[in-house]
Structure 1
Amino acid sequence: MEPTFLAASPFLPVIGLSVLLLLFHVMLQGMIATKELGTDWNAGPRDDGLEPKSAQAGRAARASSNFRETYPGFIALAFGLILAGDPHGFGLIGAWVWFVCRLVYIPLYLAGIPYIRSLVWLGSVAGIVAMFLVLMF
């Protein structure tokens, strides 16, 4: 029997969607690299050191890396808020802000749009900070 606070947490949908977003990053990066270097490269051991060189491949890789830099913190805070509770819902709002910003960040980065992309990234950081503040105070 699982604890009721975990089963009923409103954080679980955003955590589940965040895992799908992680998988999307990995698949997007792989699809762009495969388009450039071919399926033999993708299926092979990649011992030749060949890496994709296109701007799109680089952007997809950097966007994925950027996502993975904040993802552990998001997950830790989300589960911390599940355990501690989020009496005002501010932490949940922060989680959704983080998720939506991370989702919007992908096409902005792939399109090479400066400044707006950075503002969206700052929005995702604001979501993390909101979660942190609820957990700490």
Structure 2
Amino acid sequence: MTPELTYLAYSIILLFVIVFIQASAGIRQHGGLTLANNRDNLPAANTFVARAKRNVDNMRENLWFFAPGILIAAVIGLSNQWTILGAQVFFFARLAHSVTYLAGWPIIRPLFWFAGIVACALIYLALFGILV
């Protein structure tokens, strides 16, 4: 497995972890039986549960930028310093983004989000032969 695919796998594992955190927080707030039902009349989520949901949503949205680039690189057999760097920066930026999001730390969180976007740009610039 290429380093890029490894970091894609790590990113999916990170998604599993933050989904588990979101689910656990929801169970703590509402109770497991309530969440096992249809959830039609759930009370508003507390701050942490809402933040955890936004964190998961944000990770899913960003995976739509990252995963196709990594998969295209794998299909065409492209693996170079730029695609590897992009994959590494994406994973660690998303990890830091999740930690800062869940902790509620302002200002720095968007910088980690931006680092993840730059990482995706590196991958696509390498795919188009601009970075070689």
**Structure-2-length-normalised TM-score:** 0.89
The alignment partner of 2:78 has SS state of coil
Q: C-alpha distance in 2, partners of 1:16/1:75?
A: 10
1:83: how far off? 2.2
Q: After the TM superposition, which residues 1-137 of structure 1 pair with which residues of structure 2 at under 5 Å, given as runs?
A: 8-46=1-39, 48-86=40-78, 88-137=80-129
Range with bigger deviation, 86-95 or 29-38: 86-95
Tell me the alpha carbon deviations over residues 42-83 of structure 1, each in whole angstroms, 9 at most, x when there is no partner: 22222x331552110111011111111111221100011112
Aligned CA RMSD, in angstroms, stands at: 1.5
Q: C-alpha distance in 2, partners of 1:131/1:15?
A: 12
Identity of aligned residues (%): 29
Q: C-alpha distance in 1, partners of 2:126/2:52?
A: 32
Aligned length: 129
Q: C-alpha distance in 1, partners of 2:44/2:16?
A: 20
**Structure-1-length-normalised TM-score:** 0.86
Q: Which ranges of 4 or more aligned residues in structure 1 deviate by more than 3 Å?
A: 85-88
What amino acid maps onto 2:83 in structure 1? G
CA 39–76 in structure 1, closer or farther in 2 if over 3 Å, else same: same
Tell me the alpha carbon deviations over residues 70-107 of structure 1, each in whole angstroms, 9 at most, x when there is no partner: 11221100011112333532111101100111011112
CA 95–84 in structure 1, closer or farther in 2 if over 3 Å, else same: same
Structure 2 unaligned runs (5+)? Answer: none
